[in-house]
Amino acid sequence: MSWVIIGLAATTMLAMALVLSFVLGWANRAFHVEVDPRVDASIDVLPGANCGGCGYVGCGEYAEAIVLDDAPVNLCTVGGKSCTEALAAVMGVEAAVSYPWRPVVHCGARTGDRLGRSPYIGEQRCGPANLVTDVQGCTYGCLGFGDCTRACDFDAIHIDDGLARVDYSTCVGCGACAKVCPRNIITMAPFKSDRMLVVQCSNHDAGKDVKAVCKVGCMGCRACERTSGMFTVQNNLSTIDYDSYTHENLESGLLAAKKCPRNRLVFVGIPSEKDILVAAKEELPDLIKPDFKTTVDDTEWRG
């Protein structure tokens, strides 16, 4: 190859590079879209979990909604209070009082509490099991196959003795468990304190029908409603009005919990120091010592 051809090719490449860089520079100026710097500032503040708990597809979309559509700054359940305050500072608005929203499993029946169970041999998931009537007598209760456990990215909900239980020390309130539960028995509640009084039942059947299928379900007897204004019994089931959940009203709420014949008004949340102390004092069973026995008798074998 002669030096003339090499020179020609190099000159052509250089000319093309110059023309293309000019075109790109022009296009950049002509089609430039101004991005509000508060969007990037909001993205920097958000935790980047992209869990969807705020109701938007991810943190980026939520940041845009805050800046462009005036979305509230207190929707990020993962970031919590500090994130709300930082977003409020970015937007120059007041941070409204917000509580962390956490899931409540409205069923308290362990395996032994459920009556009328029939064998289920289908796929071991709540979705398919929910389609089969009579998996267990109560058609409202937790199915215990752990669809919520699999949906949780934070390892914060587990099945214990057939019942979904939230680990509130790791739960971030993304709501994925509530969305996936085919029985809709997980709701998101405002946690006004570390531990909250909740109604641990979802059964709307009449009292005698509840008793026929569950040892612990709410019978709709209205003892709670008569004792505290925090409770209303609707359609045979007690519900808590979280607006009236105040420190002052909690006293009557605790009285109602004592009066409930089924003990279905219980506290859930981060264990209190007292609970931890009580658990620490509990006597643990003695360690089981291995005691292996051979199945071969020890008669001496003589050939």
Residues in the site for ligand SF4, rule: CB under 6 A? 103, 151-152, 154, 156-157, 166, 171-177, 199, 218-224, 233, 238, 260-262, 264-265
CB of 127 to ligand SF4, least distance (A): 16
Tell me how many degrees the CA angle 80-86-168 measures, rounded to the nearest 5: 10
CB of 139 to ligand SF4, least distance (A): 18
Residue 107 annotated as binding site? no
Q: Which is nearer to ligand SF4, 114 or 264 (CB)?
A: 264
CB of 101 to ligand SF4, least distance (A): 8
Residue 152 annotated as binding site? yes
CB of 111 to ligand SF4, least distance (A): 21
Q: Which is nearer to ligand SF4, 115 or 151 (CB)?
A: 151
CB of 288 to ligand SF4, least distance (A): 33
As a three-state string, the secondary structure of the chain is CCHHHHHHHHHHHHHHHHHHHHHHHHHHHHCCCCCCHHHHHHHHHCCCCCCCCCCCCCHHHHHHHHHHHCCCCCCCCCCHHHHHHHHHHHHCCCCCCCCCEEEEECCCCCHHHECCCCCCCCCCCHHHHHHCCCCCCCCCCCCCCCHHHHHCCCCCEEEECCEEEECCCCCCCCCHHHHHCCCCCEEEEECCCCEEEEECCCCCCCHHHHHHHECCCCCCCCHHHHHCCCEEEECCEEEECHHHCCHHHHHHHHHHHHHCCCCCEEEEECCCHHHHHHHHHCCCCCCCCCCCCCCCCCCCCCC
Residue 221 annotated as binding site? no
Q: Which is nearer to ligand SF4, 135 or 237 (CB)?
A: 237
Q: Which is nearer to ligand SF4, 138 or 260 (CB)?
A: 260
Residue 171 annotated as binding site? yes
Residue 83 annotated as binding site? no
Is 228:129 a contact under the CB 8 Å cutoff? no
Tell me how many degrees the CA angle 57-59-65 measures, rounded to the nearest 5: 75
Residue 260 annotated as binding site? no
Residue 218 annotated as binding site? no
Q: Which is nearer to ligand SF4, 183 or 262 (CB)?
A: 262
Is 196:121 a contact under the CB 8 Å cutoff? no
Q: Which is nearer to ligand SF4, 88 or 262 (CB)?
A: 262
Is 186:103 a contact under the CB 8 Å cutoff? yes
Residue 138 annotated as binding site? yes
Q: Which is nearer to ligand SF4, 45 or 186 (CB)?
A: 186
CB of 171 to ligand SF4, least distance (A): 3
CB of 180 to ligand SF4, least distance (A): 8
Residue 148 annotated as binding site? yes
Residues at the binding site are 51, 54, 59, 76, 138, 142, 148, 152, 171, 174, 177, 181
Residues at the binding site for [4Fe-4S] cluster are 51, 54, 59, 76, 138, 142, 148, 152, 171, 174, 177, 181
